[in-house]
């Protein structure tokens, strides 16, 4: 009976010696590819000027979508992030649009109806267009602030903010290469 326990212990020891810690390509923040963590999302500001369609395509090429905003707390955190990353940029494309249904706005990146719409004064102006920008309503020597939503023609050019979902795990345990073959030979 002791020899069964010894063999079991030997096999377990062999398997454990073949384990190694492997770092994934997700840094500790959970954000990839130059994205930074803000408002529970991985965000990237792009100062290249694209129309809304090109901005959406650009974000998708990065494994992301254009920015969506769910609530006031998230908007405040995004504003603080903008103050650091792009204090002198006046407005940014978001994923919000009313394409296909006038008067109802959806977040293109999530497909959800936009329930939180912090409009700039005198907005929305549906005659201005179907796509939403996050636009500053206040200027100071420190940069732009007090961002709110406005609608623009989707073919206008402007910078944009991409968002990725934060990755939850950044390490994993794997067998060392060749471990499976070694275990088969010993068995």
Which domain covers residue 152, as residue numbers? 26-186
Task: Answer whether residue 141 is part of any domain.
Answer: yes
109 neighbors 67 (Cβ within 8 angstroms): yes
The pTM assigned to this predicted structure is: 0.73
CA distance 31 to 165: 8
Coil, strand or helix at 25: coil
Task: Answer whether residue 182 is part of any domain.
Answer: yes
Task: Answer whether residue 145 is part of any domain.
Answer: yes
Task: Answer whether residue 20 is part of any domain.
Answer: no
pLDDT at 24: 45
Task: Answer whether residue 6 is part of any domain.
Answer: no
94 neighbors 69 (Cβ within 8 angstroms): yes
Task: Answer whether residue 19 is part of any domain.
Answer: no
**CATH code for the domain in which residue 138 is found:** 3.10.100.10
Task: Answer whether residue 17 is part of any domain.
Answer: no
CA distance 111 to 36: 23
Task: Answer whether residue 15 is part of any domain.
Answer: no
Number of domains the chain contains: 1
pLDDT at 23: 45
pLDDT at 29: 66
Tens-level pLDDT at each residue, the chain (187 residues): 676 665 666 565 555 555 444 444 445 568 987 999 999 999 999 989 999 999 999 999 999 999 999 999 999 999 999 999 999 899 999 999 999 887 899 999 999 999 999 999 999 988 899 999 999 988 887 778 889 999 999 999 999 999 998 877 545 556 566 655 555 555 4
In order, the DSSP letters of 42-110 are EEEEEEEEE-HHHHHHHHHHTT-EE----SHHHHHHHHHHHHHH-TT--EEEEEEE-TTSTT--EETTT
> Tokens in use for 25?
């390509």
């Amino acid at each position: 009976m002791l020899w069964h326990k010894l063999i079991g212990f030997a096999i377990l020891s062999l398997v454990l010696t073949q384990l190694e810690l492997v770092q994934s390509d997700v840094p500790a923040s959970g954000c990839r590819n130059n994205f930074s963590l803000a408002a529970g999302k991985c965000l990237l500001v792009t100062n290249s000027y694209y129309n809304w369609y090109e901005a959406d395509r650009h974000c998708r090429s990065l494994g992301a979508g254009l920015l969506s905003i769910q609530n006031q707390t998230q908007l405040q955190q995004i504003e603080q992030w903008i103050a650091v990353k792009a204090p002198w940029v006046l407005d940014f494309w978001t994923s919000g649009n009313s394409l296909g249904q006038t008067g109802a706005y959806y977040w293109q990146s999530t497909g959800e109806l936009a329930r939180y719409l912090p409009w700039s004064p005198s907005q929305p102006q549906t005659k201005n267009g179907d796509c939403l920008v996050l636009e500053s309503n206040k200027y100071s020597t420190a940069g732009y602030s007090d961002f709110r939503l406005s609608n623009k023609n989707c073919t206008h050019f402007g910078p944009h903010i991409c968002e990725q979902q934060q990755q939850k795990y950044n390490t994993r345990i794997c067998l060392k290469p060749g471990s499976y073959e070694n275990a088969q030979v010993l068995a």
